[in-house]
Chain A
Amino acid sequence: MTAVSATPTATPQPRNAVIRSARDSLVVAKRNLIRMMRIPEVVIFGLVQPIMFVVLFSYVFGGSMKVGGTTDPGVYREFLMAGIFAQTVTFATAGAGAGIADDMHKGLVDRFRSLPMARGAVLTGRTLADLVQTTLTVIVLAIVALIVGWRVHEGIPKALGGFALLLLLGYAFSWIGALIGLTVRTPEAATSGGLIWLFPLTFISNAFVDSSQMTPWLRHLADWNPFSATVQACRQLFGNPGVSQSPAWPMQHPVWASLIWSIVIIVVFRTLAVRKYRHATS
């Protein structure tokens, strides 16, 4: 033990594990937010994409889409917004994945793993920073949506509830991204690997079309898709048209279904990602 006593190290402060974990996560989150501010391109492209989707879907598909028995483009635009919001928050997956893969690639994960810090903090910090970015994106998107004619009809508290569910879904998906990033190890692969499966996930859902028009097996998939639950919940809470009448449980209880899906995703993917991180080799 002489080696320890010979050279005093800077006094590490003893901390309760939970407080330490929270503090370490915030230190890492701060680091990721500083990065985001210094690479504004990423945030800007993250904004342009959903805005483009709003405009394209509203004006190209609107008018030919039948929602709630009408093809009124104004109705489709209101219907569409919950889907676009939900799709936008899930794109956080790619950001988290690319960020963590980049840290692996650059050797930063080795640095972090050699420090006496909480095990999950590197990943929690990253997902928290992504949550901040997602929140900003959703705010900008909501403003654009208001401009093209989207409104909330059930009051502000319910609307805020809808946004809370959206952010929770985005946070859950960033844990999927974290696991992808740790698995593929290169930022490029993490970006595409984080996006490819999102397309079937978001399209086989009630996000852009009325799922009752789908063939039965697709409709079942769509009804039980975690993504659909949040979209349905938002339509209800925002008072937007096109709420699905499907008897499937998640469509009947979309707020609960959305909460349960998001929490299950967080628990499962956080566990897997933290385990993977502990054995990560760059």
Chain B
Amino acid sequence: MTGAIYAEGLVKTFGDVRALDGVDLDVPEGTVLGLLGPNGAGKTTAVRVLTTLLRPDSGKAVVAGVDVLRHPNEVRRLIGLSGQFAAVDEYLTGRENLQMVGQLYQMSGRDAKVRAGELLDQFNLADAADRPAKTYSGGMRRRLDLAAALVVRPPVMFMDEPTTGLDPRNRLGLWDVIQDLVAGGTTLLLTTQYLEEADRLAHDICVIDHGKVIARGTSDQLKARTGGERVEVVVHERERLTEATEVLRGFGKGETKVEDHMRQITVPVTGGAKLLAEVIRELDSRGIEIDDIGLRRPTLDDVFISLTGHVAELKEDAV
């Protein structure tokens, strides 16, 4: 039995660019897959293929048990798509937008009207329901776009960079909405450039770069691949740097890294907060003054850099 979203060997080329270069995906029902990668990595192309918008050159895709290439219209009944650009008609009101989408999902006019009302309440848009979407803030538009994707309560959802361009408050708000949705049993594929977002929302993460999946696993598994926790210390006086490095080397489980100009020492450790307390006591007993000390755990940024050799922000030409 394959998952609610399943893809095997997807290839799509645009001219010389292999936007998808043999992508396999398997998202079990009721879970969230985060598709993580820089601009131009192939995330959007993957979503476009899975949502019937683009035919791949080769490969196989099954969504909610239906073959995407053979029965695209069946798939369209079962999915909701929320895009990178809030795809709502800005001259229509929020209510008109949702009613139109409902009717185009083949609901009756009356059902579409009722459903639009429910969604406007649920997404906190009731007050603005009869204003053209043009007057909405960025966050409101994004919520309306998401509501439009949920008109038929689809079992499978695709969200292409749902929070790109939103301010932190709206991003948090949208995360809550997405988490509620998943708690209700929806299977979700989410693309994002924000490592924090994948970390927070996704059960599994696929890291994609140049059209290929270069790593997959849970957030913790990916972080474990990058290495464990480490202690970072910034010493107040440069003269004490060597001495402090000796102390840290005693606690460390690996190579100690010293950045002279920043008076910073980093050393991999095991033992967590308890060990950190010991380090502080030891430095203190020697009278070494410190500006900063902390226990750092690897972020998905670190994961990304260690996997791809570059940071997770790149070309502007999203494919």
Contact = CB atoms under 8 A, between A and B. Distances in A.
A108 interface: yes
Interface in B52-111: 52-55, 64-66, 73-74, 76-79, 81, 83-92, 96, 100-108, 111
B187 A10 contact: no
A18 interface: no
A107 B85 contact: yes
Given A12-B105, A111-B148, A6 B185 contact: yes
Which range contains the number of A residues in contact with the other chain?
35 or more
A20 B106 contact: yes
Interface in A1-34: 1-4, 6-13, 15, 20, 23-24, 27-28, 30-31, 34
Contact of A35 (B66, B73, B92, B107): B92
B139 interface: no
Contacts of A114: 51-53, 76, 79, 81
B104 A27 contact: yes
Nearest to B66: A4
B186 interface: yes
Contact of A116 (B105, B111, B153): B105
A9 B53 contact: no
Given A3-B64, A111-B87, A27 B105 contact: no
A7 B107 contact: no
Contact of B85 (A10, A23, A106, A116): A106
B87 A110 contact: yes
A66 interface: no
Nearest to B187: A3
Given A7-B185, A38-B91, A116 B81 contact: no
Given A113-B52, A114-B53, A4 B85 contact: no
A7 B155 contact: yes
B104 A10 contact: no
B152 A281 contact: no
Nearest to B77: A116
A116 B87 contact: no
Interface of B: 1, 3-4, 29-30, 48, 51-55, 64-66, 73-74, 76-79, 81, 83-92, 96, 100-108, 111, 115, 132, 148, 151-156, 185-187
Interchain residue pairs A-B with the least CB separation, the first 9: A107-B87, A116-B76, A7-B155, A3-B4, A111-B87, A107-B85, A1-B65, A12-B106, A114-B81
29 contacts: A2-B29, A3-B155, A3-B187, A4-B66, A4-B155, A6-B29, A7-B186, A9-B77, A9-B153, A10-B107, A10-B111, A10-B153, A12-B152, A13-B106, A24-B103, A27-B100, A35-B91, A38-B132, A106-B90, A107-B84, A108-B87, A111-B101, A113-B52, A113-B53, A114-B51, A114-B53, A115-B105, A116-B73, A117-B104
